[in-house]
Amino acid sequence: MTVGVPDLQKLADSVVEQAKSGEQIEAYVSRGGETSVRVYEGELEHFVSAQSEGVGIRIIKDGRTGFAYAGTLEPSAIAEVLAEARDNIQFGTVDQWAGLAEPDGVQQIPQKFWDEELASYPTDKKIEITKELEKLTLAADSRVRSEQSNYEDGWGETAVSTTTGIRESGRGNSCYVSVATLADDGDEAQTGFGFSVGDSPKEFDLQKAAREAADRATRLLGATKPASKKVTIVLDPYVTSQFVSILSSALNGENLAKGRSLFADRLNEQVADARFTLVDDPTNKLAYTATDIDGEGLAARRNVLIENGVLKMFVHSSYSARRMNTKSTGNATRGGFAGGPGVGCLAMQVQPGTKTQAELIASIDDGVLIQDVAGMHSGVNTISGDFSTGASGIVITNGTLGAPIREFTIASTLQKMLLNIVDLGKDIDWLPMRAVGLSLVISDVMMSGS
């Protein structure tokens, strides 16, 4: 990584140096802190200031893996974690592909993850911003109430060392504001939210966050339940981002190896409409989840996954790559010190189309603009491909937006939805999520209502 953290790297090295004959060891150490400010009705509701640290140690011997972690960096605890991880090896099954990543010569693309201005930003200004966001939100529409206005920032430092020669360390910080709203009309209440992210608070667009939070809550007031029918849907960028994110599971090389990918046996086949090109590119600094290394310490890289609708590749960690007799694509994921690496897309980007959302809507006779979905975790099965989510949105009739609707579902299968992509917007939105947002038009989706 671009900026090293020598003391953490040394700590990780000191663990790895204790490897016994025949052992591969990976030490992952991290520490970080966060500030969380919440304002409600002009008053500071809570202020959280917290620091945490921890170590995770993975040991592989004779094809067996053991792992242990602790939420502290005390020397005695690290010794205990090493002993526990070593003890856990004996219970694993021999796996001929088990192993750590090895340096592959791919160069890292330097990026900036640390902002000095954020690091020294005064506490009272953070509280001021949070109050200002609430004030702007309430001013945006007289029907809007506040549920909470938040400021959050965090910093983290990590280091990973392995007996196979990986040595990486780095630090980063980030911040965002968000506001949750309620809008009332008689007995009816609807909710909304808005947010803004930046390298430092000076990059926040509070006005935009406030306006979105007010709009989201008010636009559904008076919404009714629609009748069931087949429709063309336009996914709002925020919804498209969630839709694209779930494809990560089907493009995951470990899921492929274990027979859990709905794209198995489809390599170089048409799996989506020809207008759809999907890239995983954590080296693009515009992506919220941009990174220079993956969860095993290999350089992050740009991978074209689906090109003009044709499935070009799966993403791999060093483990899934060994299983599939290929090379890591730099797609190991990691949730922190408490777990080992997994596999997944890091920063998914859809190649944009040429139209604005308004132009996309203008070309639809009978459809729905989907502004929010619920139950992505409960109604979408990434193995079978069954897709069903709760939704709310606005009716499109003869190219024009009409009345708001809610309490309905949209359903199809992931396989069909990809092939039924009719158009894409040019309205790229770099949301604070794993996938980029843009407007996406999908035909032949079942809307289920009354």
Q: Which of residues 270-309 bind another protein (CB under 8 A)?
A: none
- Take residue 162 and report the two structure tokens written for it: 């392995």
Residue 132 binds to another protein (criterion: CB under 8 A): no
46: its two tokens: 């809570």
CB of 243 to another protein, least distance (A): 15
Q: CA 274, 275, 278 angle in degrees (round to 5)?
A: 95
Nearest to 219 by CA among 266, 181, 178, 259: 181
Among 3, 7, 17, 45, binds another protein (CB under 8 A): 45
Of 140-179, binders to another protein (CB under 8 A) are 145, 147-148
Is position 52 an interface residue for another protein (rule: CB under 8 A)? yes
Applying CB under 8 A, among 113, 151, 314, 408 the residue interacting with another protein is: 408
Nearer to another protein, 132 or 386 (CB): 386
Question: Would you count residue 439 as binding another protein (CB under 8 A)?
Answer: no
Q: At closest approach, how far in Å is the CB of 283 from another protein?
A: 29
Phi/psi for 255 (5° steps) reads -60, -35
List of long-range contacts for 12-17, beta carbons under 8 Å, 24+ apart: 12/159, 12/160, 12/161, 12/167, 12/169, 13/161, 13/167, 15/55, 15/57, 15/78, 15/82, 15/161, 16/161, 16/162, 16/163
Q: Which of 4, 18, 23, 47 binds another protein (CB under 8 A)?
A: 47
- Tell me if 446 contacts another protein by CB under 8 A: yes
Provide the strand spans (E) within 120-166: 144-162
Strand-pair partners of 396? 367, 401
Secondary structure (H, E, C), 348-372: EEECCCCECHHHHHHCCCEEEEEEE
Considering the rule CB under 8 A, would residue 53 count as an interface residue with another protein?
yes
Judged by CB, which is closer to another protein: 339, or 399? 339
- Asked whether position 204 contacts another protein by CB under 8 A, the answer is no
| Size of interface with another protein, in residues (CB under 8 A) | 79
CB of 308 to another protein, least distance (A): 24
From residue 20, how far is each of 23, 83, 433 by CA, in Å?
6, 12, 41
- Residue whose CB is less far from another protein, 50 or 139: 50
Q: How far apart are CA 102 and CA 296, in angstroms?
A: 9
Q: Tell which positions 206-265 bind another protein, by CB under 8 A.
A: 220, 225, 228, 230, 257-260, 262
Q: Which of residues 338-377 bind another protein (CB under 8 A)?
A: 338-340, 374-375, 377
The binder of another protein chosen from 308, 326, 356, 384 (CB under 8 A): 384
Q: Report yes or no: 292 and 4 within 8 Å, Cβ to Cβ.
A: no
Least Å distance, CB 379 to another protein, is 3
Q: Does 336 bind another protein (CB under 8 A)?
A: no
